[in-house]
Amino acid sequence: MSALANYSCDTDIAGSPSSTRHTVIGNSIECLTDFFRDDVNMVVWEREIDPLCLQFAESFAQQAGELKRFISIEADETADDILPNWARTLPGADRWLSDINTVIDMFRCLFEPAAVGVRLHVLNGTMCPRFHVDRVPARLLVTYSGKGTEWLSEDQVIRTCGDARLPEQNIRPEDIQSLSTAAVTLLKGELWKGNEGFGLAHRSPSPEGVPRLVLALDWL
């Protein structure tokens, strides 16, 4: 993880030059450190992932139905207990657990939290259908199965001055963007110092018949 300390990577910036916040999309882990730029409110690392992880994720999501699990882990602890016991016998479970523990280590490296809140959702419906911002400093998301989280570039967002809650967004379908499967995404919320009023606008998509398996990390 030392690569995160000093970086130089090719990235794409989403948003017009007039936007006050941008999204950085890169294909190298080092781009995650762009999260600390004042003009950035989301970073997306589009990565390659072990196909067996994705096979496990799809199988687990299909068999789990609706599921919500949360654990809190401190330094050096793993998140293996996030899976119900029956799921740990599925092919690829060990590879998937290794992947999420690696992602947690990245999160720790970046933010040095005292503890990490690990949430796992299997969704057959839309959990948060309305565009919103999070009342947290930062959140990490990975969608392992199904459609990725939908988001808006800053120049598309309608905000109300002095109100962190977003009004209804009058958005054309073609202006709604989606995160890629397995992409590691860092979203700035309203509680990140200097980002008040610019939390990343996002929502849950309709699963459209394919269960979603979503991992979320918060610092505690």
Interval 194-217 mean pLDDT: 90
Q: What is the mean pLDDT of residues 73-82?
A: 94
Q: Residues 67-88: what's their mean pLDDT? A: 95
Residue 212 sits in a domain of what CATH number?
2.60.120
pLDDT at 76: 87
pLDDT, mean over the chain: 87
Higher-confidence residue: 145 or 167?
A: 145
pLDDT of residue 143: 96
pLDDT single digits (tens) 189-201:
999 999 988 999 9
Q: What is the spatial order of strands in the sheet that 184-188 belongs to?
A: 11-14, 22-26, 40-45, 184-188, 138-145, 212-219, 115-123, 67-74
73 has pLDDT over 80? yes
Quick one: pLDDT at residue 123?
86
Question: Given a cut of 70, is residue 161 above it in pLDDT?
Answer: no
Identify which has the larger pLDDT, 105 or 173.
105
What contacts 54, CB < 8 A, 6 or more positions away? 144, 145, 181, 182
Contact criterion met (CB below 8 Å) for 19 and 171: no
pLDDT band, very low/low/confident/very high, at 11 (cuts 50, 70, 90): very low
Read off the amino acid at residue 157: V
Q: What is the pLDDT of residue 59?
A: 97
- Residue 9 confidence (pLDDT) above 70: no
Per the structure, the count of domains in the chain is 1
pLDDT band for 168, please (50, 70, 90 cuts). Answer: confident
Domain span including residue 125: 2-219
Q: What is the pLDDT of residue 16?
A: 42
- pLDDT on residue 167: 73
Strand (E) positions, the chain?
A: 11-14, 22-26, 40-45, 67-74, 115-123, 138-145, 150-151, 177-178, 184-188, 202-203, 212-219
